Amino acid sequence: MVVSTLPPSELERHRLRATKAVLDQRWRRLGDVLTRTMTSTAHRIAIDADYQTSGVWTGLRGPEVERIERNRGSASVVRLVQLPENLSAWLGYQEIWDLETGRSPFAFRQASLTVHVGEVGDPVKPQLLRLEWPGLRDWDRSGVGFQSPGAGHPHWQFDILESLATLSQRAEFDPDWDHEIEDFDALVAEPTLADKLARLTVERMHLASAAPWWIAQQGPYGAPHLHAPATQDELTRWFTGSVAYVAQELSRCALRR
């Protein structure tokens, strides 16, 4: 486990905070950035902020935004890249800020960008991957620090195996699925490599997206792969760059022959 070199009081001081007025300006600015970045749509994409007693949760809003179920919860997504066979890559984005106390009572919890694959109008859009940047907070009542101690922040997580396993389970229990007559005398087949891979929880891995391990210095948080957003501009640049990079790499996808 990597331990931060900063004392708890200094970690608390490094937390990103904002007022509601500042966040409202952020949502407008982020919507403008997103609309300019998303070349697949001619309509404006807005950030939909849901203020509650414990904080604020955001999603996407616009004429071409679709609401779908994701691997954990739900997401509002918009088309990012056109893929072969009427498939599209879809983007979802959420920020969460906790409501605490003080002159700037909203404290950044995390930002999450998800990528899904599916067709227009189809509510089934399996989750391919996500990019996450959790902030500094008391995640497990042990003091202010990083989520998943030792993991890289920001990081990538790959959900495709979990999504495929979910689709397989859905097909097995679908009442419209064509089942063959069950032979109770048949031997139970040994799990194949594909079966074992589908059960492997690779989605729990945190793959650091900013990890200059070749640099000798540890960094302020104890390791070069641990970063916390210091300003809203940093968070916005991370989002903009991540969307552009994901779109670039998704455009390389083709159907396997």
Q: Is residue 182 part of a domain?
A: no
pLDDT tens digits, residue range 28-63? 999 999 998 887 777 899 999 999 999 999 999 999
Q: Which two tokens stand for residue 105?
A: 């009572």
Q: Is residue 226 part of a domain?
A: yes
User: Is pLDDT at 157 greater than 60 in this prediction?
Assistant: yes
Q: Which two tokens stand for residue 162?
A: 């979990």
Cis peptide before 154 (omega within 30 of 0): yes
Per-residue pLDDT at 177? 47
Q: Please identify which residue in the block is written with the tokens 């960094």.
A: 219
Q: Is residue 155 part of a domain?
A: yes
Q: Is residue 136 part of a domain?
A: yes
How many CB atoms lie under 10 A from the CB of residue 13?
Answer: 11
Q: Is residue 180 part of a domain?
A: no
Q: Is residue 193 part of a domain?
A: no
Give the integer Cα–Cα distance in Å for 78 and 47. 12
Instruction: Show the domain range for 131.
Output: 8-160+202-250
Give the integer Cα–Cα distance in Å for 210 and 190. 41
**Residue 161 near residue 203 (C-beta atoms within 8 A):** yes
Q: Is residue 107 part of a domain?
A: yes
Residue 227, CA distances (Å) to 29, 151, 252 in order: 23, 11, 29
Say how many domains are in the chain. Answer: 1
Q: Is residue 169 part of a domain?
A: no
With cut-offs at 50, 70 and 90, classify the pLDDT of residue 182: low
Query: How much of the chain is helix, strand and coil, in % rounded to 5?
Result: 25, 30, 45
Across the chain, mean pLDDT equals: 89
Q: Which of 147, 13, 128 is closest to 71 using CA atoms?
A: 128
Per-residue pLDDT at 215? 86
pLDDT tens digits, residue range 58-96? 999 999 999 998 777 789 999 999 999 999 999 999 999
User: Is pLDDT at 1 greater than 50 in this prediction?
Assistant: no
Helices and strands (H and E) in the chain: how many: 5, 10
